[in-house]
Amino acid sequence: MVKKIFLLTFLLLLFFKGNTQHSYRFTSEITLKAKSKTGEFQYTKGVVHYNLKNKKLLFNITFPQKEFYLAVDTLIYKFQNNKLLSVQNNPIKPEFSIFQFILNNDLSDFGLKNSSFSISNIEKNNGLIITKWSPPAIVNFPIGNILISTKDKRLQSVLIYNKKGILLSRQIYKDYNMVNGVGIPSEILSVSYLGNVKSYQVMKISHALINEQGNDADYDFQVGEVKK
């Protein structure tokens, strides 16, 4: 009898695991508007492709100029006019990007769960769950507390403070869309407060697709190829 129960449980587990749809590809149109402290505007528009399996991140930029960037491991390749223009060291791997968090459903804690920050308090206020993350006890660690608010398990805002408790940056995640069961914010607003001067960014994510079929070359772009 016990053996039969174990066998049944095992088979059920196999069944559910087999039916789990893993998210491994992300693509969307992206528009970034930025206003610097000097008042100058930047406008960047393009399409992003991210493949969770090979950790390749491809940006196909159409504005201000046609160019694309491929981030692989610790390198970023820049292509322009169908030519490899430069190779740049990138200390941050693509797997630490927002797209990885989206595919892994880790966006709700801003990825802090897997960092050295630890939760020092949680409060509920007006339907928001506010979580305070404190930095690791490392001498001269540059960042102070980080406050995160979520609603219905979706990230709403991130506030980053310095060690003196002065607000350095605020990000707001808005208008989530459900795509293949994955919550994707359609807008990320960001304000930074360096030297008491505000600078702004708005990133729009539109036409997002999860596990897109086709366009395989964009999800596994080979550096030796020429992008057309």
Partner 1 sequence: MKQFLLKAFSVFFALLLFGMQTFAFSLKASSPITENEIQAVSAFDDAEIYDAFAGMADLDQYLATNTNKTYTDVSKENCALLNGVSATTSLPLSASSDQEALGIPSFLWGCVFGIIGLLVVYLMTDNNKEQTKKALYGCIVGTVVSVGLYVLIFAAAATTSTTNY
The yes or no reply on residue 154 touching partner 1 (CB under 8 A) is no
Per-residue CA distances from 138 to 93, 135, 181 (Å): 23, 8, 38
Among 183, 186, 178, which Cα is nearest to 203's?
186
Looking at 11-19, 155-163, 211-219, 220-228, which segment touches partner 1 (CB under 8 A)? 155-163
When asked if residue 112 is in the footprint of partner 1 (CB under 8 A), the reply is yes
149 binds partner 1 (CB under 8 A): yes
Nearer to partner 1, 126 or 222 (CB): 126
Q: Of 111, 102, 156, which Cα lies nearest the Cα of 129? A: 156
In whole angstroms, the minimum distance from the beta carbon of 50 to partner 1 comes to 10
When asked if residue 82 is in the footprint of partner 1 (CB under 8 A), the reply is no
Which residue in 189, 209, 211, 212 binds partner 1 (CB under 8 A)?
Answer: 189
Q: Does the protein bind partner 1 through residue 105 (CB under 8 A)?
A: no
Identify the residue among 11, 12, 14, 87 touching partner 1 (CB under 8 A).
87
Whose Cβ is closer to partner 1: residue 12's or residue 87's?
Answer: 87
Stretch that binds partner 1, among 17-25, 159-167, 208-216, 217-225 (CB under 8 A): 159-167
173 within 8 A of 204, measured Cβ to Cβ: no
The answer to whether residues 190 and 200 touch, using CB atoms and an 8 Å cutoff, is yes
Q: Are 132 and 145 a contacting pair, CB within 8 Å? A: yes
Q: Does 9 bind partner 1 (CB under 8 A)?
A: no
Longest CA–CA separation in the chain, Å = 75
21/113 with CB nearer partner 1: 113
Instruction: Tell whether residue 145 is a contact of partner 1 (CB under 8 A).
Output: yes
Residue with tokens 């869309």: 177
Return d(Cα 200, Cα 32) in angstroms, integer: 10
The pair of structure tokens assigned to 145 is 């507390």
Binding of partner 1 at residue 81 (CB under 8 A)?
no
Q: In terms of residues, how long is the chain?
A: 228
Which residues within the stretch 198-227 sit at the binding site for partner 1 (CB under 8 A)?
199-203
Q: Does 159 bind partner 1 (CB under 8 A)?
A: yes
Q: Does 32 bind partner 1 (CB under 8 A)?
A: yes
Phi, psi of 10 (to 5 degrees): -60, -45
